[in-house]
Amino acid sequence: MSAVCVYQNPWFSQCLSGTPPPAGPPNIWFNFGDSLSTTGFNITGPLPNTLNPLGNPPFPGVTEVGGENWVGFATASFNNTVVLTYNFANSNATIARATLTPTSSSAQPYVTSLVDQVDLFLSSVGNASESAPWTSANALFSIWMGSQDISLGFNTQQDQSSSSDTLIATYCTQVERLYNSGARNFLFANIPPLDRSPAMLNQSSTTQSLFKSSIDTFNLNLQARLASFQSAHNDIQTFLWDTNAQIANILDNPLYFEIQDITSYGPGDYTFWATEDLPGGKYIQPINHAHCKPIVSSQCLRINSSGGT
């Protein structure tokens, strides 16, 4: 049997019945994502190693949050074992280029999609080698994508229900490709409450409500499809990180998390939003403590076998 773990808030996580996790902690991590996760990794540069677990650029990489992001924290700061992270995430990435093409600037004419990222993984380190010594037992595969697709689709007034179905079908096809390559341990993250971002706060309440509905539709569909994926494979472990609920909790209780500003954006330890639509700064700590702890110490996927953060 397989196990599905749903982490709902900083105080509660639940792992459904299933087999225990593999004997050893995963020490190879393959991540796929967008601006929320990118560290500027280039597969043609130095690969992850014990001196720099992100490979390139030098730790913590080049992020969109002005410093170490959740990938850096989960790789090093909240682990006392070696985790080598191959982070294929790219700024502004979408799930499928054919579905929605990101608006690109002259400085960034090409942005990868999830399909592109999985293609790159399969063509570079998809087969275990000395440079990427991963196995089904020691490797974790994670995906945090969809924010860009939903934002672009909403701005172009696409049918959100049909668009969500198309996006998630493409998403799950990529998950199957990873499974076929040998992936057995999965971490998925849903879309944060971007309807509460500074970019949306100057919009009408009706617009905010419609955007929230688009996000909720995607998240519900994603959870349902991932449950089907889990049911179809009895040899996997999946973990769903509910970033929407966690970030909503922070925005509802900013003082508890020592955050002073949740409506504007910019640098600073007490400002929640790094950009007009990207969480950053102080959010990294509560989100990462909440997110990493179940991975390292519960019945779910393990990066740190000792427990504790």
List the CATH number of the domain containing 78.
Answer: 3.40.50.1110
The answer to whether residue 40 sits within a structural domain is yes
User: Residue with structure tokens 């979408």?
Assistant: 94
Is 306 part of any domain? no
Asked whether residue 305 is domain-assigned, the answer is no
Q: How many domains is the chain partitioned into structurally?
A: 1
Give dist(CA 300, CA 14) in Å, integer: 9
**What is the Cα–Cα distance from 56 to 88, expressed in whole angstroms?**
11
Token pair listed for 241: 């990180």
Decide if 268 is inside a domain. Answer: yes
Residue 228: closest CA among 2, 67, 58, 40: 2
Comparing CA positions, the residue from 181, 102, 176 lying closest to residue 143 is: 176
* Domain presence at residue 92: yes
Q: Which two tokens stand for residue 253?
A: 């209780």
At residue 43, the pLDDT reads 96
48 belongs to a structural domain: yes
Q: Which amino acid is at 113?
A: S
pLDDT of residue 283: 62
Per the structure block, which two tokens stand in for 255?
């003082």
Q: Provide the domain limits for residue 96.
A: 3-297
CA distance 297 to 309: 9
8 Å CB contact between 80 and 23? no
Strand (E) or helix (H) holding 187? strand 185-189
pLDDT at 269: 75
- Digits of tens for pLDDT over the chain (309 positions)? 444 444 433 323 333 333 333 334 448 999 999 999 999 999 999 999 888 899 999 988 999 987 888 888 888 776 667 889 999 999 989 998 765 544 544 434 457 899 999 999 999 999 988 778 899 999 999 999 999 888 877 765 555 556 788 899 999 999 999 999 999 999 999 999 999 999 999 899 999 999 999 999 999 999 999 999 999 999 998 888 888 988 998 899 999 888 899 999 988 778 889 889 888 745 654 355 444 443 333 323 333 222 332
Structural domain contains residue 153:
yes
State phi, psi for 270 to the nearest 5 degrees: -115, 10
Is residue 302 assigned to a domain? Answer: no
Give me the pLDDT at residue 12, please.
32
Q: Residue count of the chain, please give it.
A: 309
